[in-house]
């Protein structure tokens, strides 16, 4: 059974929840980010992304006009992030921003591509074509395309793969190129990507005379697989497989590079930060920079699937388990420490100093989705859904114009303001970032979210995320439209699939979500395997399947080895991790506790409206612990006063939309 | 009522507990530290302290022999810490180590002085005289005495008071000089200190032509007061008062120095790190580097007392309250963050990332003792005692040969090994430190602990810490010996004071400890004020007063604003803060909880022996929370299993004497 993702062009999302996210991206995020990429957002760090492409295009023109002109020569002191001199305007021919700045435009183009599929917009397409034209003009005649080196000096290109993100920029170029080609049929950017790919293949690889390197920041692996999918050219899959297989082998390629490596993460093997400490198929623990890790695992899962590499599949199963068994926040966030923006050691999941980068949660969505392609198990979909509804969505505010880079599970604003240990944490979302990887990454994921709802084989459609939508499918040469409608009412989800015109061998595999208490499917069931209920029937006669899902508040504990969550609980309602916010519960959230004995009996489900968005609330009975009057810093514990309190939780992703205030996900359980 | 401290020469400590600490210092710590100061401890960072004095003495000899010889000229790139080139031996004429390294020898001399008072030792005295001779030979003819500048170039002396510790080194020289003069009557070092003091007075002060500066790291204030006490020369008190009064005034002196200041602590006023952000009498919140702060407050309390400065006294009362009401660990440790080794914001007292430097707890002992001299209130003695028995003693192992710089209240060794956020924390004590301020500071405090047991006025003796001892006192010209004996038996302390030969106007003021349930004093009582029971009588007829103190386990809660301790408890037994250790309770201490309903009824007091030292244990009923078999990282909280468990606590100061293992002070309270 060959599994594949579902082409976004065949899906039309009408779901209230997701449609509003998609529309937010279309109406607010995409225009806003275009302004940001052009350095026109007041009060936000400038991006310089468009500036850099313009500068590179200018340079190319100059070089073409004057063949005698000297190319820039790389100054070894060029920093990772180049900023204009204080008080001075940027020079038109210089590179600015982080060295991977190009990727922000590519992610935006990718988001635009998905948006155009669902909502054609000639003006937006024209703007995007213009940007793509500039990218093409910036590309060197030999295919090289990274404005950092083009502008600073190509004499040092590919000399520091470990740090310098050229293959990362290539990866995002390629993802955008395939998406834009899919959406519009236009091949300008695809051609840029293929030219750059060819250039890379001419310089890097196992053959004599090439650099035996691989990316310092992974993504090229999954991008190349996608390019292979779009073009059918096996050389791209081969390069992806080479990157995965070469990584972490001895002698370390990174040791041969010019700059001395740092061992960034205490107590770990050299290059664990880059997941290059061991060959990928020998890795057992998810380590290092969390975004890098999730992107590598995603690309490796693609390679394992397409090359049917059992050893690699096994390693990926182990790495997935390492994450979900030991290293994932309940929100689907990953990265327990800002030191290296990395996984911490097993069961170390601090709530306030968490990193849990938005991009890392996105990476986990990618990884889980690819594991679903390897083997349809609902446990993967549970993780994909958890990350998507919580750790990813929390990265953006409800207006689509401010963003979290870091997604802690507990925030005390005073601590964020006064404690340097929390310098990486923000208590309110910010307009943009000098290193702006997250905002356009969220945009490209949300605008393509429909494609995450399903995976499919020739005859089977796996429904992972239930949402109102229509999708087209062809089975045994017979095309039909599947219509999915979702009704929510007080802890009940009724999902109807209507497959009018489907042939009899069409199979619908319906995920039983980890958070449901009971799921029933009307009519005959083929089998239930790994959390999916497989349904088939004479669709012509009986086109509708009704799925009924009953669910209620869940009170979760964490493994007792997670010392930060000991004796606490997290509240789950459907796919939503819930959080307490000061706006609903007053200051001092740490002093609150859930009354475990009464919580489920007396839980009340309600609604809240924040910035025009409706959200579910869960209200639980509990207590607020207070010190007696006149107590000092330490006092007789027996004199503590426990006052009854109602604890009102909102979905985690909706927090910090009502100004700066306290928040916590894990609450003491009495 | 003029209050003063008690001269150590009049006290003989025979108390089992404290005598063993004093003997540890005498037999182990002092000889061990002498080896360390001479760079002869294998596996320990070299101190270079003696090396530097030798080098400075050599330089002086060379300069005297050859008046044409050029003095060293300061290289602005000289670092804060100078280390020999890798693999090379130190050069005999160069300075090595941290720039305040001289102070380590001075602290050792001070400890030796106290030890010689209680236990004359001609050989040790000879060794110490030799070291002092070297110090005198290193001193410049004009009185300047800091080997960092002497060896690196005096052209830059006093140009960076903010960072460069010359006045700190002077302070420790002076403390040692007075102590050694008290102990031996010898005045070589006292003369060094006076010469340096004169030189400082010629360069720094409010007069025209002098630098209007003050110490970047305080201690000179209290040292100068002590020098005033030893010599009666008011100029020293005046200089101390000038330092206190000038500090933090506008325009900031530190702004006039050569190197641009950094604002080290987020969200605080410039110079808060140095307590130089505001004039001392306007300071309300204890901020900045905790050792600096405690030393400043101590010196300021001395100045306030001797100059009868009410505004300054009020400020100090406020600063003391700021510490004990908002910023002190239950162990008496201070400094909630390693960032600036500083106080964190109010109620931010993280247990695992705590700084709580041994020196800062010592500083708090100094401060509390000086507040007791300002006004005898038992609340100050409670804090002094808490810090002394817990946050100070924990700095040293039970053999006196390894030390903690940082004293966290919760340690998971794996976290210390693998988490860079805990780079400042050690899970086991270390032999020595490149920056070795703490070990000799502990030594000088413990070897003089008898002097902390009392303060006195002409006719009244305040007994703050109860310990077996004899002390001599003269009231109304009549000398007598007071004999104090302490008997401990199962939650009862019987303290007998025998004041044979005391005149009738002798008053004994007996502290009622904060941890006692009941204190009774036999015979007539004059009054009870601020936690002291004042007793007087016809001592000739009735020389003995018996104090009976009843106490038991206390279960403490922290102010609910301390989010790190919410829903947890700390266990106190008498003056001891108790801690759980893995050695007694197994791994996973966070999963344990105290059964609050049964704890006090079923508490058992026992004994433990660790490295030959006897310690009290408290065993409480409680639980260990476990996940059900097969549970994932997050699971239904209702399926948690609570197994009954006995929790065995040992005194906090005894932890980490049985190898690397988990420890926690704050335990969940069920």
Give Cβ neighbours of residue A388 (< 8 Å, ≥ 6 apart). A332, A361, A365, A445, A449, A452, A465
For the segment A8-23, the average pLDDT, to the nearest whole number, is 95
ipTM: 0.96
* pLDDT for A261 beyond 60: no
Residue A107's pLDDT is what?
Answer: 95
> Which pLDDT band, with edges at 50, 70 and 90, does B267 fall under?
low
Compare CB distances from B412 to A325, A423, A563 and report the shortest one's residue: A563
Tell me the pLDDT tens digit for each residue of B571-624.
999 999 999 999 999 999 999 999 999 999 999 999 999 999 999 999 999 999
Q: Which tens digit of pLDDT belongs to each residue from A370-401?
A: 999 999 999 999 999 999 999 999 999 999 88
Distance (Å) from the alpha carbon of B548 to chain A's nearest alpha carbon:
22
The whole-chain average pLDDT of chain B stands at 95
pLDDT at A42: 86
CA distance B360 to B357: 5
Sorting pLDDT into bands at 50, 70 and 90, what band is A183? very high
Please list every residue in chain A whose beta carbon sits closer than 8 Å to the beta carbon of residue B265.
420
Are B638 and A562 a contacting pair at CB < 8 A?
Answer: no
Specify the pLDDT at position B448.
96
Q: What is the pLDDT of residue A376?
A: 96
Q: Summarize the confidence of residues B269-274 as an average pLDDT.
A: 87
Q: Residue A637: which of B556, B562, B563 has the nearest Cβ?
A: B556
User: Which residue did the predictor score with more confidence, A436 or A69?
Assistant: A69
Q: Computed over its alpha carbons, how large is the radius of gyration of chain A? A: 25
Q: How confident is the model at residue A414 (pLDDT cuts 50, 70, 90)?
A: very high
Bridge partners for B473 per DSSP: B480
**If you measure CA to CA, which chain A residue comes closest to B328?**
A633
DSSP-derived secondary structure for A64-97 = HH-TTPPPP---TT--SEE-PPTT-PPPTTS--E
Instruction: Find which of B557, B627, B642, B645 to mutate to test the A interface (most A CBs within 10 Å of its CB).
Output: B557
Residue of B267, B328, B634 with shortest CB distance to A418: B267
Q: Which residue of B has its CA nearest to A626?
A: B560
Asked if residue A95 lies in contact with residue A148, where contact means CB atoms within 8 angstroms, the answer is yes
Mean pLDDT, residues A162-172: 95
**Local confidence band at B262 (pLDDT 50, 70, 90 cut-offs):** low
Q: Give the span between the Cα atoms of B223 and B296, in whole angstroms.
A: 11
User: What is the CA B185 to chain-centroid distance, rounded?
Assistant: 26
Number of helices (H) and strands (E) in chain B: give both, helices first.
Answer: 19, 25
- Binary contact (A556, B325; C-beta < 8 A): no
Q: Please give, rounded to a whole number of angstroms, the shortest distance from the CA of B554 to a CA of chain A.
A: 7
Strand bridging mode B527-529 / B532-535: antiparallel
User: What is the distance of C-alpha B137 from the center of its chain?
Assistant: 30
Name the closest residue on chain A to residue B564, using Cα atoms: A590
Candidates B366, B272, B382, B268; CA nearest to B316 is B366
Q: What is the pLDDT of residue A56?
A: 97
- Looking at chain A, which residue has its C-alpha nearest residue B412? A563
Question: What average pLDDT does the segment B92-112 reach?
Answer: 95
Task: Give per-residue pLDDT as tens, B237-256.
Answer: 999 999 999 999 999 999 88
Model pLDDT, residue A438: 81
Question: At residue A434, does pLDDT exceed 80?
Answer: no
pLDDT tens for residues A538-593? Answer: 999 999 999 999 999 999 999 999 999 999 999 999 999 999 999 999 999 999 99
Picking from A419, A568, A569 by the largest number of B CB atoms within 10 A of its own CB, the best residue to mutate is: A419
Contact between A448 and A431 (Cβ < 8 Å)? no
Q: Which positions in chain A touch B348 (Cβ < 8 Å)?
A: 415, 418-419
Does residue B531 surpass a pLDDT of 90? yes
Average pLDDT over residues A659-663: 97
* Position B439 pLDDT exceeds 90: no
Is pLDDT larger for residue A78 or for residue A622? A622
Q: For residue B497, what pLDDT is reported?
A: 98
The alpha carbon of residue B233 is apart from the nearest alpha carbon of chain A, in Å, by 42
Question: Contact, A532 vs A511, CB < 8 A?
Answer: yes
pLDDT for A258 equals: 66
Question: For residue B634, which residues of chain A lie inside 8 Å, CB to CB?
Answer: 330, 556-559, 570
Instruction: Please give the share of chain B, as a percent, with pLDDT higher than 90.
Output: 91
What would the mean pLDDT of B554-580 be, rounded to a whole number?
98
Tell whether the model's pLDDT for residue B417 goes beyond 60.
yes
Given a cut of 80, whether residue B557 has pLDDT beyond it is: yes
Residue A198 has what pLDDT?
Answer: 98
Q: What is the pLDDT of residue B87?
A: 86
Q: What is the pTM of this model?
A: 0.95
Highest mean pLDDT among A3-7, B264-268, B310-314: B310-314
Q: Measured between alpha carbons, how far is residue A386 from residues A295, A393, A514, B472, B650 in Å?
A: 18, 10, 10, 73, 43
Is the sign of the CA dihedral A76, A79, A82, A83 positive or negative? Answer: negative
Q: Catalytic: B437?
A: yes
Q: Residue for token digits 């519960």? A: A585
Output the CA–CA distances (angstroms, integers) from residue B379 to A503, A581, B311, B491, B550, in the order listed.
Answer: 85, 38, 21, 21, 18
Catalytic residues of A: 341, 437
pLDDT in tens, A47-76: 999 999 999 999 999 999 998 888 899 998
**Which of A391, A630, A634, A660 to mutate against chain B (most B CBs within 10 Å)?**
A634
Which of the four pLDDT bands, split at 50, 70 and 90, describes residue A133? very high
**Is B651's pLDDT higher than 80?**
yes
| Closest listed residue to residue B113, CA positions, set B448, B392, B582 | B448
pLDDT of residue B111: 96
Contact by Cβ (8 Å): A219, A168: yes
Tell me, what's the pLDDT at A257? 85
CB contact under 8 A, B421 and A420: no
Please give the Cα distance from A353 to A344 (Å, whole number).
11
Kindly tell me if the per-residue pLDDT of A437 is higher than 80: no
Q: Cα Rg for chain B, rounded, in angstroms?
A: 25
Closest CA to A309 of A215, A206, A225: A225
Tell whether the model's pLDDT for residue B434 goes beyond 80: no
The pLDDT value recorded for residue B264 is 61
Residues B384 and A110: their CA atoms lie apart, in Å, by 64
Set of chain A residues whose Cβ sits within 8 Å of the Cβ of B417: 266-267
Q: Average pLDDT in the A508-537 region?
A: 96
Q: Please answer whether residues A51 and A36 qualify as being in contact, where contact means their C-beta atoms are separated by less than 8 angstroms.
A: no
């Amino acid at each position: 059974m060959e599994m594949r993702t579902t082409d976004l062009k065949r899906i039309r999302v009408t779901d209230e929840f997701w449609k509003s996210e998609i529309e937010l991206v279309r109406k607010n995020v995409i225009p806003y980010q275009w302004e940001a990429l052009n350095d026109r957002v007041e009060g936000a760090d400038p991006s310089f992304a468009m500036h850099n492409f313009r500068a590179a295009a200018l340079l190319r023109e100059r070089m073409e006009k004057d063949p005698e002109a000297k190319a820039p020569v790389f100054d070894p002191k060029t920093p990772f992030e180049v900023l204009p001199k204080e008080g001075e305007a940027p020079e038109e021919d210089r590179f600015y921003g982080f060295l991977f700045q190009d990727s922000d435009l590519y992610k935006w183009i990718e988001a635009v591509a998905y948006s155009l599929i669902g909502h054609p917009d000639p003006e937006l397409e024209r703007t995007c074509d213009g940007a793509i034209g500039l990218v093409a003009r910036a590309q060197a005649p030999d295919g090289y395309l990274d404005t950092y080196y083009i502008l600073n000096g190509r004499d040092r290109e590919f000399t520091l793969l470990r740090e310098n993100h050229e293959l990362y920029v290539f990866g995002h170029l390629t993802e955008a190129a395939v998406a834009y080609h899919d959406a519009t049929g236009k091949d300008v950017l695809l051609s840029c990507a293929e030219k750059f790919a060819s250039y890379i293949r001419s310089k890097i690889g196992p053959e004599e005379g090439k650099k035996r390197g691989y990316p310092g920041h992974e993504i090229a692996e999954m991008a190349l697989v996608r390019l292979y999918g779009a073009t059918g050219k096996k050389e791209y899959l081969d390069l992806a497989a080479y990157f995965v297989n070469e990584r972490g082998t001895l002698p370390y390629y990174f040791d041969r590079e010019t700059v001395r490596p740092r061992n960034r993460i205490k107590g770990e093997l050299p290059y664990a930060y880059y997941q290059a400490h061991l060959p990928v198929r020998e890795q057992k623990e998810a380590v290092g920079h969390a975004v890098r890790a999730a992107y590598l695992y995603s690309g490796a899962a693609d390679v394992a699937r397409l090359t049917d590499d059992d050893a690699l599949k096994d390693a990926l199963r182990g790495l997935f388990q390492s994450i979900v068994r030991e290293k994932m926040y309940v929100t689907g966030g990953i990265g327990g420490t800002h030191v290296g923006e990395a996984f911490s050691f097993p069961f170390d999941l601090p709530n306030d100093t968490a990193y849990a980068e938005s991009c890392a949660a996105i990476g986990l969505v990618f990884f889980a989705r690819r594991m679903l392609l390897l083997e349809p198990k609902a446990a993967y979909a549970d993780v994909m859904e958890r990350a998507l509804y919580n750790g990813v969505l929390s990265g953006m505010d409800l207006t689509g114009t401010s963003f979290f880079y870091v997604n802690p599970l507990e925030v005390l604003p005073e601590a964020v303001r006064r404690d340097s240990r929390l310098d990486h944490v923000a208590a309110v979302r910010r307009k943009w970032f000098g290193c702006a990887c997250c905002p356009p990454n969220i945009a490209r994921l949300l605008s393509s979210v429909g494609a995450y709802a399903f995976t499919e084989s020739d005859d089977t459609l796996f429904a992972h995320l239930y949402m109102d939508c229509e999708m087209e499918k062809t089975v045994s040469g017979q095309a039909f439209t599947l219509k999915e409608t979702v009704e929510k009412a007080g802890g009940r989800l009724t999902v109807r699939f209507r497959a009018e015109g489907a042939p009899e061998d069409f199979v619908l595999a319906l995920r039983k979500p980890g958070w449901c208490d009971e799921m029933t499917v009307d009519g005959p069931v083929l089998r239930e395997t790994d959390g999916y209920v497989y349904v088939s029937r004479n669709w012509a006669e009986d086109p509708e399947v009704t799925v009924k899902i009953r669910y209620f508040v869940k009170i979760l504990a964490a493994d007792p080895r997670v010392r930060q969550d000991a004796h606490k609980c997290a509240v789950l309602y459907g796919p939503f991790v819930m959080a307490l916010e000061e706006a609903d519960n007053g200051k001092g959230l740490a002093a609150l506790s859930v009354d475990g004995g009464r919580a489920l009996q007396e839980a009340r489900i309600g609604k809240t409206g924040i910035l025009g968005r409706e959200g579910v609330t869960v209200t639980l009975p509990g207590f607020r612990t207070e010190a007696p009057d006149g107590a000092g810093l330490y006092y007789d514990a027996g004199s503590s006063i426990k006052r009854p309190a109602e604890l009102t939780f909102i979905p985690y992703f909706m927090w910090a939309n009502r100004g700066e205030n306290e928040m916590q996900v894990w609450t003491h359980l009495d």
